[in-house]
Amino acid sequence: MKVIDLFCGAGGFSEGFRQAGFEIIMGIDNDSVACQSFAANFPDAQIICAAVTDIKKLPAADIIIGSPPCQEFSIANKKVTDPNPYLIYYFLYLVNKHHPKFWVMEEVMQVKSYLPGNLHCQIISAESCGLQHFRKRLFAGRFPLTITAKTNKYNVRYGTPTTQCFCKKNKNLDFYTSYLNEHKKKPDMKAVKRIMGFPDDYIFLGNKGEQARQIGNAVCPPVARTIAEAIKKGV
């Protein structure tokens, strides 16, 4: 099944679907550095470095996925009191125009009040997909999925790659937790990739700050893979 990734960033959403056996045919984003990272990891896919709102027509695909920028809606953003949902609505416009068999949009939970009431939505925590942190996101669209929240027995909390980590050493994370606890440092890029569920060989281009931003903005690949496998099972 063919997949198009809107607001693709460096490709975390696409990576999860690729791991589940789907074909990524296109990624679209206006972040030039993130587009370079996407192209490096998906050399067979078409990458369009442009605003998604400039896109009027998409090629045929079975699935459309995407993660419209959500910083305005985040509870961490205290400056924006009246967020603009235009990019979210444009994503919905493209979905309605092209009628894919399945589609999935990832957002922060605060976006739910801006979505149609009859739209299928599910909140998924990263820990329920095997990761060691409590990052929760809203997934809306047409996809079969039910996940029961699990308790993280290690009490490891990573919100985003830019947060300081407070954790207890455990066998799954001991390649960096002992170092971080001893030196009170933030994770390096290798550790950050693993925290978010990226393979060690996944390529992020740009300087260290640009890489951290790309990873922090990404959909965790194991979460995306969980959704993709549910779609695959339901076909």
Question: Residues 35, 70, 165, 220: which is the catalytic one?
Answer: 70
**Strand ranges of the sheet holding 2-6, from the earlier edge strand across to the other edge:** 46-49, 23-29, 2-6, 63-66, 102-107, 136-142, 121-125
Residue 70 bears catalytic tag: yes
How many angstroms separate the CA atoms of 34 and 206, rounded? 8
Which active-site residues does the annotation give?
70
